[in-house]
């Protein structure tokens, strides 16, 4: 039972263009969402988060959008850079718990 | 500041052997987690702890045990290794736990192969 889904295993984008990574979830009790970035042979690192009471959060080149009615989360990276090439995981936290539930990841390749 | 440290980085086990994956954090975080990452399957929560002496099961706890005798350490024990436990294991910690602006900090992982 995959509660957090990333349906695109991979994505290629030209340098300077926008990268859009998507995440869908099934549990309406999630109240916090996060994006992590992972390079090979390293642990995931935190990128950006959003509370369920908001619909947008920005941090530099990274913006996360939350559409609660559609149970959909997206991460926008503008402009994309070659150093952004990594696997991106979305994660969600059910209300009242301490469990971070992760999606399956999307491999982003930014072409120079 | 080392953050979250995992040892060993790599290990090969024979079926039926036991081992302990070590995890230590120096950030005084109360919450600690063990995840496994299988290809195409994302990160699955094995066990977590909200403080010394308190542990709880995650999504995939079977075949594993944990203990939390100190705030800093959260070892993961495999008692009878099976090929299905071949995976990359990540330990993580956070200050406040879920539901607050307190993201997980991950170690660099232990790659385990059971043959």
Q: What is the tens place of the pLDDT at every residue in B25-71?
A: 999 999 999 999 997 788 999 999 999 999 999 999 999 999 999 99
| Strand partners of residue A108 | A11, A86
- Sorted by sequence, the CB contacts under 8 Å of residue A1 that are 6+ apart come out as none
Residue B105 near residue A46 (C-beta atoms within 8 A): yes
Chain A residues with CB under 8 Å of B41 CB are 104
Any CB–CB contact under 8 A between A54 and chain B?
no
112 residues of chain A, pLDDT tens digit each: 678 999 999 999 999 999 999 999 998 899 899 999 999 989 999 999 999 999 999 999 999 999 999 999 999 999 999 999 999 999 999 888 888 899 999 999 999 9
Residue A97 touches partner B, C-beta closer than 8 Å: yes
Q: Tell whether the torsion through CA atoms of A51, B74, A102 and A27 is positive or negative.
A: negative
A32–B98: do the CB atoms touch at under 8 Å? Answer: yes
The 10s digit of each residue's pLDDT in B67-110 is 999 999 999 999 899 999 999 999 999 987 665 567 899 999 99
pLDDT digits (tens, 9 = 90+) for B11-24: 999 999 999 999 99
Q: Which of A6, A42, A100 sits opposite B108 (nearest CB)?
A: A42
Distance, in Å, from the CA atom of A88 to the CA atom of A84, rounded to the nearest integer, reads 10
Helix%, strand%, coil% for chain B, nearest 5: 5, 50, 45
Are the beta carbons of A100 and B33 separated by less than 8 Å? yes
Secondary structure of B22-65 in the HEC alphabet?
A: EEEECCCCCEEEEEEEECCCEEEEEEEEEECCEEEECCCCCCEE
Specify the pLDDT at position B100: 57
C-alpha to C-alpha distance for A94 and A104, rounded to whole angstroms: 17
CB atoms within 10 A of CB B65: 14
A35: tokens are 């994006």
Write out chain B residues lying below 8 Å of A99, CB-based. 45, 48, 58, 98
* B chain contacts of residue A9, beta-carbon cutoff 8 Å: 40
Nearest CA in chain B to A90: B42
Identify whether the C-beta of residue A46 lies closer than 8 Å to the C-beta of residue A33.
Answer: no
* Three-state SS at A83: helix
Task: Determine the pLDDT at residue A84.
Answer: 97
* Gyration radius of chain B over CA positions: 13
Query: CA dist A36 to A3, A84, B8, B65, Å?
Result: 17, 12, 23, 27
What is the per-residue pLDDT for A105? 95
A103 and chain B in contact, CB less than 8 A: yes
Burial of B31 (0-12, 13-18, 19+ CB in 10 A): buried
B72: preceding bond cis by omega (within 30 degrees):
no
For chain B, say whether A62 makes contact (Cβ under 8 Å). no
B81 interfacial to chain A (CB closer than 8 Å)? no
């Amino acid at each position: 039972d995959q509660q957090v889904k990333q349906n695109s295993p991979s994505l290629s984008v030209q340098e300077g263009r926008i990268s859009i990574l998507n995440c869908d979830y099934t549990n309406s009790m999630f109240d916090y969402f996060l994006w992590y970035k992972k390079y090979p042979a390293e642990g995931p690192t935190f990128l950006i988060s959003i509370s369920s009471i908001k619909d947008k959060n920005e941090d530099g080149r990274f913006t996360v959008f939350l559409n609660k009615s559609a149970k959909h989360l997206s991460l926008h990276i503008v402009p994309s850079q070659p150093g952004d090439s990594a696997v991106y995981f979305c994660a969600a936290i059910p209300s009242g718990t301490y469990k971070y539930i992760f999606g399956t990841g999307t491999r982003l390749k930014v072409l120079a | 500041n080392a953050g979250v440290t995992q040892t060993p980085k790599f290990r090969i086990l024979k079926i039926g052997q036991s081992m302990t994956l070590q995890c230590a954090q120096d950030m005084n975080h109360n919450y600690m987690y063990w995840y496994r990452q299988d290809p195409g399957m994302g990160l699955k929560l094995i066990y977590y702890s909200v403080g010394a002496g308190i542990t709880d099961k995650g999504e995939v706890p079977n075949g594993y045990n944990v203990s939390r005798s100190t705030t800093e350490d959260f070892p993961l024990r495999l008692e009878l290794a099976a090929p299905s436990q071949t995976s990359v294991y990540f330990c993580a910690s956070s200050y406040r736990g879920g539901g607050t602006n307190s993201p997980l900090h991950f170690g660099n992982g232990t790659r385990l192969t059971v043959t």
